[in-house]
């Protein structure tokens, strides 16, 4: 007897080359898979403008325009400035400094889109908040009082149109880019499980309408793997909302098999082992042991960079240099 449903993926004709540049945009699940790509030595950019849940905000950021209306800026009790169209990780001590940060983030996104051969869009929810005064859909309330906002649900037609525009903007900047949609398996249940199911179903239907209608646009079933294959609270983090580390690793294995050649997966695993070595915590912190660990790392580094392309070697060296910076 079978006690689980394994997702069967059709073989892809277009696989990802290890020298490809990848861009991940959207919910926190895009961070999870993007981080895995980085750890495996792939040139990967993840959410330059911060985590985004609603597709309209992704579209707004892709158009590279910053709305500097005063109403969109807010200031916390501790004096930190935030922008309602950006995640809370983008903040500053003044409105002017924040504006510059937002512009830099949008420019980084624009460059990443133009440089990428594969863009992954992870949609989180069709629910959104709108500033009542400006009628603008926002990305983050930044803990401002609820009286300033109205919560609403995008329709299927609205969501489909937004997704179509997202693809169009990406293609206008990088005509050869492949766009890959996925639906986040993170459960948005703050306002109830029924509301979460409604939002996911709208986005799911909208994505597949767009995927079936355009070339070089595809769908990766991370949502189905979580809901229909794993479908157990064992595979959720302690908050029972986000996938656990084990679940993310399981979905990553599917991702590898779906998008990469078998021999390329083997090469990626060698890089991942090197990254594990970098982050290994020594129990014996003596100078002799640390020097010995450094020698092993440098030996593995030299072996690795001669076995990969120049672009991947550069990515690996960047990770190594960052490690040295953090471990003087």
Q: What is the pLDDT of residues 17-33, one digit of tens each?
A: 999 999 999 998 899 99
Q: What is the pTM of this model?
A: 0.94
Please state the rounded mean pLDDT for residues 116-124: 97
176-209, pLDDT tens digit by residue?
Answer: 999 999 999 999 998 899 999 999 999 999 999 9
Query: How many CB atoms sit inside 10 A of residue 113's CB?
Result: 24
147-158, pLDDT tens digit by residue?
Answer: 999 999 999 999
Crossing angle between the packed helical segments 28-39 and 262-278, to the nearest 10 degrees: 90
Residue 328 has pLDDT above 80, yes or no: no
Q: Are the C-beta atoms of 26 and 124 separated by less than 8 Å?
A: yes
Summary mean pLDDT of the chain: 93
**Whose structure tokens read 């990967």?**
44
- Residue spans of beta strands (DSSP E) within the chain: 21-26, 43-46, 73-75, 81-83, 118-123, 127-131, 136-138, 149-153, 178-183, 217-219
* Token code pair at residue 99: 């504006």
Residue 70 has pLDDT above 80, yes or no: yes
Q: What is the largest CA-CA distance in the chain?
A: 64
Q: Are the C-beta atoms of 49 and 87 separated by less than 8 Å?
A: yes
**Thinking of the domain 21-260, which architecture would CATH place it in?**
3-Layer(aba) Sandwich (3.40)
What is the distance between the alpha carbons of residues 239 and 236, in angstroms, rounded to a whole number?
Answer: 7
Domain boundaries, the chain: 21-260, 262-328
* Token code pair at residue 317: 């060296």
What pLDDT does residue 13 have? 79
Residue 3 has pLDDT above 90, yes or no: no
């Amino acid at each position: 007897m079978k006690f689980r449903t394994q997702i069967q993926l059709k073989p892809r004709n277009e696989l990802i080359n290890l020298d490809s540049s990848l861009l991940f945009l959207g919910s926190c699940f895009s961070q999870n898979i993007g981080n895995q790509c980085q750890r495996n030595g792939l040139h990967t950019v993840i959410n330059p403008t911060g985590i985004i849940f609603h597709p309209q905000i992704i579209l707004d950021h892709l158009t590279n325009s910053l709305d500097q209306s005063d109403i969109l800026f807010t200031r916390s009790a501790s004096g930190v400035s935030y922008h309602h169209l950006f995640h809370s990780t983008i903040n500053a001590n003044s409105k002017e400094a924040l504006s510059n940060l937002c512009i830099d983030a949008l420019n980084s996104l624009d460059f990443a889109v133009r440089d990428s051969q594969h863009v992954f869009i992870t949609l989180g929810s069709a629910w959104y908040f709108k500033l009542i005064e400006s009628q603008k859909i926002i990305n983050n309330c930044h803990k401002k009082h609820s009286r300033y906002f109205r919560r609403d649900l995008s329709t299927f037609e609205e969501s489909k149109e937004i997704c179509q525009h997202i693809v169009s903007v990406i293609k206008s900047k990088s005509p050869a880019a492949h766009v890959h949609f996925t639906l986040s398996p993170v459960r948005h249940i703050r306002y109830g499980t029924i509301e979460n199911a409604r939002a996911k179903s709208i986005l799911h239907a909208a994505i597949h309408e767009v995927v079936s209608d355009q070339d070089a646009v595809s769908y990766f079933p991370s949502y189905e793997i979580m809901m229909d294959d794993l479908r157990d609270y064992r595979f959720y983090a302690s908050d029972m909302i986000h996938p656990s580390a084990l679940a993310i690793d399981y979905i990553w294995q599917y991702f590898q098999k779906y998008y990469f050649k078998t021999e390329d997966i083997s090469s990626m695993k060698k890089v991942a082992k090197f990254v594990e070595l970098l982050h290994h915590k020594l129990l014996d912190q003596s100078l002799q042991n640390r020097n010995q660990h450094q020698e092993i790392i440098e030996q593995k580094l030299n072996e690795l960079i001669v076995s990969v392309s120049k672009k991947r070697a550069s990515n690996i060296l960047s990770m190594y240099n960052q490690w040295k910076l953090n471990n003087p």
